[in-house]
């Protein structure tokens, strides 16, 4: 049996003590690390997650509101025929259509806003939605209708609702006329008809709507035997 000297025994005790201390330190460090690790937080408590959900919900609600508003229609009037200024506007001249107008629905005439005795204050094309300001009371009109006989051929495109000019060539003496000039710069055609009684030959009688301020000059030209011509305004044909 080998004898252990006191020096060797002391060294062995020191090595065992050091090893124990080292193991104890490692165990303590692992315990501290385990205790310091934070617990994972539930994802539904994350502010970013909640904000994302709120944005998705807001987008869905916004789209739904836009689609719902686009599907809402209201009954308004559309012209069943071309209506010229001064024409009486009644149920036979209009038809009710359902349209989506949104915030501008108050700008158009409806069955609830049409009053008896209303007249057109401007030309309303067939099929056009009727604006509120296109109809009014007869007392407020500043126009009147006259019939003129055109000395020239009227283009086939001129029809009720067309905007035309009236040109006049004053008569100097029988069969002699002065240079033509514009008599009425803007008139609206009501009707066009062939007139076989015009100076024994075929002519065209045109009923037009003109401003009251132009009536005196127009009647004077007719009475003075002037040659009158109906000229369509460029871009103003129906």
Domain ranges of the chain: 74-139, 142-232
For 83, phi and psi rounded to 5 degrees?
-110, 125
Half-sphere exposure of 12 (CA within 13 A, CB side): 6
Tens place of pLDDT for every residue, the chain, 238 residues?
A: 455 455 555 555 544 455 554 454 544 444 444 445 556 555 556 667 677 777 888 787 777 666 665 567 888 999 999 999 988 998 889 999 988 777 777 889 988 888 888 999 889 999 999 999 889 888 878 889 999 999 888 888 888 999 999 999 999 888 889 999 999 999 999 999 876 554 544 468 999 999 999 999 999 999 999 999 999 987 554 5
Q: Distance between CA atoms of 170 and 173, rounded to whole angstroms?
A: 9
How high is the pLDDT of residue 4? 47
Asked if residues 130 and 78 have their Cβ atoms less than 8 Å apart, the reply is yes
How high is the pLDDT of residue 101? 73
Asked if residues 114 and 135 have their Cβ atoms less than 8 Å apart, the reply is yes
Q: Which of 30, 37, 127 is nearest to 82 (CA)?
A: 127
Q: Distance between CA atoms of 156 and 1, rounded to whole angstroms?
A: 141
How high is the pLDDT of residue 202? 46
Asked if residues 120 and 77 have their Cβ atoms less than 8 Å apart, the reply is no
**Domain 74-139: which CATH class?**
alpha beta
């Amino acid at each position: 049996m080998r004898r252990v000297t006191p020096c060797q025994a002391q060294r062995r005790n020191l090595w065992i003590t050091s090893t124990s201390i080292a193991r104890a330190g490692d165990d303590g460090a692992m315990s501290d690390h385990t205790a310091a690790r934070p617990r994972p937080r539930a994802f539904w408590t994350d502010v970013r997650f909640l904000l994302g959900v709120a944005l998705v919900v807001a987008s869905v609600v916004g789209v739904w509101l836009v689609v719902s508003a686009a599907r809402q229609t209201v009954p308004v009037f559309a012209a069943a025929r071309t209506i010229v200024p001064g024409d009486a506007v009644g149920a036979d001249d209009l038809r009710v259509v359902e349209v989506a107008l949104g915030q501008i629905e108050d700008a158009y005439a409806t069955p609830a806003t049409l009053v008896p005795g209303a007249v057109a204050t401007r030309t309303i094309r067939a099929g056009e939605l009727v604006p509120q300001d296109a109809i009014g009371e007869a007392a407020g009109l500043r126009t009147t209708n006259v019939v003129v006989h055109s000395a020239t051929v009227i283009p086939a495109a001129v029809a009720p609702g067309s905007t035309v000019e009236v040109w006049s060539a004053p008569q100097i003496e029988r069969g002699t006329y002065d240079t033509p000039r514009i008599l009425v710069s803007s008139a609206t055609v009501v009707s066009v008809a062939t007139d076989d009684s015009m100076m024994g030959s075929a002519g065209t009688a045109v009923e037009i709507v003109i401003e009251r301020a132009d009536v005196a000059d127009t009647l004077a030209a007719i009475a003075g035997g002037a040659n009158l011509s109906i000229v369509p305004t460029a871009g103003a044909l129906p």
